[in-house]
Amino acid sequence: MLAMDETPIKKENLMLEENTKRLLRWCEMIHAPVWFFEELKLPKHVYQMKIRPTIKGQKVSMPAWRVHDVNPHPKGSYPYKGGLRFHPAVTQELLQVLARDMTYKCAWVHIPFGGAKGGVPVDPSECTEAELRDITEQFTVELANNNCLHAHKDVPGPDMGVNEKVMYWMLNKAGDIDTGSPPYQALTGKPVEHGGLPGREEATARGGLDALEKYLAITQMFSQKPTLAIQGFGNVGENLARLAYSEEYGYTVVAVSDKNSGLYAENGLDIPAVRAWFSQNRTLAGYSQATVISNEDLLLLPVDVLAPAALENQITKENASRIQAKLVVELANEAVTPAAYDILADRGIPALPGIVMNPGGVVGSFLEWSRNLGAMAHNVQIEQIYEATKRELRAIMQAPIAKLCERSRADGRSLDDTAHVIVFELLCEKLQKRHGYKR
């Protein structure tokens, strides 16, 4: 009988506790042996580091982490993979949850990586460029010192608060360190001219739209292109709005938001105009061609598709009963809490979970990593590679959707439970082979 440790959990560990309860639930659904639960419950490595950047002219001590979750693949064949996050809310417990999600996402799209996540609790918007570069370079050294920067062991990439400029700084600094492999092979999300992949920056958003397109084609939920509300206007949210609005996808985007403000237009926003305003002002606040709403209001709009693409814990047990969207698609990691998933399921509102909707980033990173292990691309190949990336991304993201729909109907389970059951069955088989466990 599987069981969780009953030791009281501190308040700051509540998210990890709830996530672990969910993990136990999915293990029980596949009648997993105890060893499998124990394998997934604990990460393989947690590297806690300390960096000392200069902030406002003073040296400060700042924690940093890299978490390796589970790697079901042969040692040295395929690395751990996961982004680096610069955000004030970064904690070890959050990174453990996000590293788990990476393990699940990689398994969902059959990308041969183990899950990882890393980060520093810092707000990049409050740092000067020199301060942010100092943080980045010191973090790079610590990652290398802990063997977390190697093409076949651990390949970091960008996550929230980290862009290709930061990844370039890491690439440049890694050149001063003997990591055992060429730096450009040990990092993804790099600028295209330095070994990056054309289309990598938009891959999470594009992959999410591709998965959504396949789901809608199978289910025929809507007779016409649905309306879409997007919470978040960072890398994922802004690219999601841009692509969804484009002729390629053709959605009516009725609402968007950032951390300061939200915008709503019943007949659809002019996304190019919104993006131009945001580019100039770095905030959506003040844009006058739409109704101003809050982030909380956006989540409760009567739209066809709701896409939380900002922070975790946005749709919760407090607001899930008031969601009016006909379909929820989780583009941000852990944006929908476990309790909220159950409430949405009880209300008959399908919710495509993050492991289905947002692996596009790791798919893009896999394509970049694979290419970097071979020949570097020349500039004249960039457009050709971009088109190939879009085709490969779409094929990989859409491939599991039919099975998801079929299993969900056959088993009478929610999309969230079904996706994780499929992943857990696969992980159990792979870990059994790797470690010699008995089923």
Q: Which of 41, 44, 56, 117 is catalytic?
A: 117
Q: How far is CA 183 from the centre of its chain?
A: 23
Phi and psi of 408, rounded to 5°?
-60, -45
The residues, any chain, with a CB within 8 Å of residue 36's CB and separated by 6 or more, are 27, 424, 427, 428, 431, 437
* Tokens standing for residue 97: 């949850």
The alpha-helical segments, DSSP class H, found in 2-128 are: 14-29, 34-41, 92-108
Burial-class residue 76 by CB neighbours within 10 Å (0-12, 13-18, 19+): exposed
**CA distance linking residue 223 with residue 225, whole number of Å:** 7
The CB density around residue 6, as the number of other CB atoms within 10 Å, is 6
Closest by Cα among 415, 407, 397 to 350:
415
Q: Is 10 considered catalytic here?
A: no
- Pairs from 288-296 (Cβ < 8 Å, separation ≥ 24): 289/265, 290/263, 290/264, 290/265, 291/263, 291/264, 291/265, 292/261, 292/262, 292/263, 292/264, 293/255, 293/257, 293/262, 293/263, 293/264, 294/257, 294/261, 294/262, 295/231, 295/257, 295/259, 295/262
| Residues belonging to the active site | 117
